Chain A
Amino acid sequence: MEKRDDIAEFEKLEQQVHSFLADVSELSKKRPNDPLNKFKLKFINTALTRLNKILKSERPFANFSEFDLDDLPSNSDVVLLLSQYAAALHRFRVENTTDDGDNSTWIVRGKDSGIDAGNPDDFKYLPK
């Protein structure tokens, strides 16, 4: 983590990705090939763009930054990518927190920030 401010931003976006993934998964179960509408895509893109700034090289794919509205991504396409992001977020959380055996805290610029992070496994995305 680069800045202390990124912690709150990351935690917020992490939850957003999880709920997007849960919602689109529902759509995808019913109609995997239907394209997701522009309204939903715009919000997903906003979250991904902000996450990319925090994740930097930890992004799941170097050549994917956000969805192209013109490519008509389908529900299952979006689920696929969001699952990758959910996994990357978990990995990022594990790598950027330290556990002294008692409680887990965030690491900012290589040092223990003392900010409580909680057990990373409690923040893992669990499909419904």
Chain B
Amino acid sequence: MPIVRPRLTDYHGILLAQSEADFAIPFLDEDIPLYLDPFLLWRSPSQQDNALHTALVNSFNHLGHLEKQGKHSEATEILTALSECDEVGFGHSHTREGRRIGSATASKIVELFRIVPEYERRGFVHFEEIQFFVDHISRDRISDIACNLLKSFLIDYTIQQCRLSGIPTNEVATSVYSYKENKIVTERGLGLPCDPESNKPLVLVPKRWLRFRPWLDFNEYLAEYFPKENKVTSINPSRVDVLTFNRQHYGAVREYIAIKERSAGDCKNDPLFSQIPIASAKESLKAIKAIPTGLKDENDVKYERELSRLLASTFYPQLDFAKAQSRTESGVLIRDLVFYNNRSHPFLAELYEKYDSRQIVMEMKNVKELQRDHLNQLNRYLTEQFGRFGIILTRRAPATKIFRNTIDLWAGQRRCILILDDYDIEQIVTLYESKQRDPIDVLKKKYVEFARACPS
């Protein structure tokens, strides 16, 4: 049974909410929109993380050692191989396959060990500084190089986490940077989880190392710390001008790094999902209530946008939001919200057992009155991939005959379709705000009302 935006755990039917996992649960067909920031390892209170950062930087500085020994091509070769790490899948690519850097870029990075006297003498302390000197180095590249240099540890971590969560593994071979030999070697017989389609191995990364923007960030440096009143570059220098300036004026970069190191206490990992604040939830509700029904002026799109944002937050952490998706059926555009059912709540476990609900689909209908056709559309959809449970979100309470229809569907086919209107959304926001009960209790309440109306 195909599922929407599959995650590794859902594919194997493992009950694990992202909020409870220590690692970022990988998506199978796209990347996690966060990056490994080496600075988080450096500032971590954990000795293990600090030691890993030292190993990481030592490995990177070994490239400088090679360069100084005249083994330039060996160094660029290693760096090119390190520049992409498909196993972890971070970034915004939808294919999970990235491209390596070219030999010219690799050459420029390795040359830093000769051009910048500081690096020539003592090497890097934060290797992500390369982004201040070389073009085409962005956060995903830094993250990939770091992942590759730490891969040996990450593999052990993955094996351990898979054992804890019961994620199935296969014996695979993958390339690993050897800290002892300072080169990339192929390791065989590793028990790693694999992408079920491509059979490529996957490596898990602790959540605590992930950030959306690296702590040392070129854009931030350029906007706030780059000395604009210098005599070398113009007032609005191009990226290349800045990179060239930095190469010749290492002091500017050093100062930025020193400031960022001093404020390291503020450097925190970014959550994989952050809820909207209560004030925004109330604003969202107000906006939803003000939207007129119908398709005019793209009101349906506005309704969908506000509602997805609101519900993704209010149902967290019991339901992890998967995706807002669109489909067309007989010329009508239908918008859905899809949530992963982690069975993290007794009510959700019941939905899974009774209705095979692996993902919960919510269909949004910005209509004045819900029609039988709308029920049928969702009902047809339920057979395909979502089990036999679905929710329709609409503006007004349905007519009695429509509610009777949902009961008949249960009586005839044991399917459950709940209908939530603006009043229920309001109650969800009230619960989100008051924190006296979980907003998901509103779903349960609707379900209990539905179950009471069903013939026994």
**A residues engaging B (CB < 8 A)?**
31, 33-38, 68, 70-72
Contacts and interface: CB of A to CB of B under 8 A. Distances in A.
B414 to A, nearest CB: 21
A33 B423 CA distance: 12
Interface in B416-452: 427, 430-431, 434, 436-437, 441-442, 444-445, 448
A128 to B, nearest CB: 22
Q: 6 tightest A-B contacts by CB?
A: A37-B436, A34-B434, A70-B448, A35-B437, A72-B445, A35-B436
Interface of B: 427, 430-431, 434, 436-437, 441-442, 444-445, 448
Contact of A38 (B427, B430, B437, B445): B437
Contacts of A70: 441, 444-445, 448
Given A70-B441, A70-B444, A33 B436 contact: no
B448 A35 contact: no
B436 A36 contact: yes
Majority secondary structure of chain A interface residues (helix, strand, loop or mixed): loop
Nearest to B448: A70
15 contacts: A33-B430, A34-B430, A34-B431, A35-B430, A35-B431, A35-B434, A35-B436, A35-B441, A37-B437, A70-B444, A70-B445, A72-B427, A72-B431, A72-B442, A72-B445
Contacts of A37: 436-437
A102 to B, nearest CB: 49
A96 B27 CA distance: 69
A70 B346 CA distance: 12
Contacts of B436: 34-37
A71 B430 contact: no
B434 A71 contact: no
Nearest to B431: A35
A35 B444 CA distance: 14
A96 B291 CA distance: 58
A71 B437 contact: no
A71 B442 CA distance: 8
Contacts of A72: 427, 431, 437, 441-442, 445
A73 B397 CA distance: 20
A31 B427 CA distance: 13
Contacts of B442: 72
A35 B440 CA distance: 13
Nearest to B442: A72
B422 to A, nearest CB: 14
Nearest to A33: B430
A22 B276 CA distance: 34
Contacts of B427: 72
Residue with the greatest number of chain B CB neighbours at <10 A, chosen from A35, A36, A38, A71: A35
